[in-house]
Amino acid sequence: MRLGLLIPSSNTTMEAEFGRVIYKNEFDITLHISRLSLTSVDPTSLYNMKKELKPELQKLKDADVNFVIYGCTSGSLLEGKKFSDQIIQQINDYLGHGNRSSTTSQSVLNYLRILNVKKIVVITPYNDSINELEKNFLENNGYQVIKIKGMQLLQNLEIGRIQSKELLQFITQNLEDIRKVEALFISCTNLPTFKIISQLEDKLQIPVISSNSASLYEVLSQNNIYKSILKKFNRILDN
């Protein structure tokens, strides 16, 4: 698989997390990255990313990629699921030749459906305006958001500088009543989550997913070769 990642220009995490897992496990996948201008995680900036799709898709088309992930959670759910569907359709129409694609927000919905959960808690680096959009997106797609808590960060570079230990501490401080929820979702492709997912699952005894783990799961699930890997998916993330 030649995998194309469309990520915000200020994202410093998704490419690194994907690359470490893909190449360390010697998956038959190569990564091809294109970037869409973004520095501030606000609705206007997120919406403007979509306007840059065509030239970045041309670069991925030059590499003859055969699967594409639009790697931005908040940037793919601004107007609900229809916004994500439009991005997917635009990518597929432009690349043609049976190319397939997904967005991070769609990948999250797919993963939550596999987990067969409904009541979730969401941790984000975002401010309240973005959190409200995300909460609406999840609830409009059948999930009960028991709690959503953000770090109130606006600059994406700041989000990318958060360390796994810092994120783990923030999550632990905001899960005072975990008994009410069936899964934890850590949102944002610029948060470093792969090294703490298994640790959180062991501690909380509920499924834990992140934007990046859901996106990578989506990629691996496209190929039957990886079926055995998917059964122990979270354990490969922190190796």
Instruction: Specify the CATH number for the domain of residue 155.
Output: 3.40.50.1860
Residue 239: the pLDDT is 67
Compute the distance between CA of residue 116 and CA of residue 113 in angstroms, rounded to an integer: 5
The domain tally of the chain equals: 2
The whole domain housing 72 covers 2-105+214-237
89 phi/psi in degrees, rounded to 5: -65, -40
Residues 6+ apart with CB under 8 A from 202: none
112 and 86 in a single domain? The answer is no
DSSP letter assigned to residue 118: -
Residues 6+ apart with CB under 8 A from 17: 192, 193, 194, 212, 216
29 and 75 in a single domain? The answer is yes
11 and 97 in a single domain? The answer is yes
128 and 200 in a single domain? The answer is yes
Digitized pLDDT (tens) for each residue of the chain, 239 residues in all: 999 999 999 999 999 999 999 999 999 999 999 999 999 999 999 999 999 999 999 999 999 999 999 999 999 999 999 999 999 999 999 998 677 999 999 999 999 999 999 999 999 999 999 999 999 999 999 999 999 999 999 999 999 999 999 999 999 998 877 778 999 999 999 999 999 999 999 999 999 999 999 999 999 998 877 888 888 888 889 86
Compute the distance between CA of residue 220 and CA of residue 20 in angstroms, rounded to an integer: 15
Q: What pTM did the predictor assign?
A: 0.95
Residue 96: the pLDDT is 85
56 and 123 in a single domain? The answer is no
122 and 199 in a single domain? The answer is yes
Q: What is the CATH number of the domain that holds 26?
A: 3.40.50.12500
10 and 39 in a single domain? The answer is yes
199 and 111 in a single domain? The answer is yes
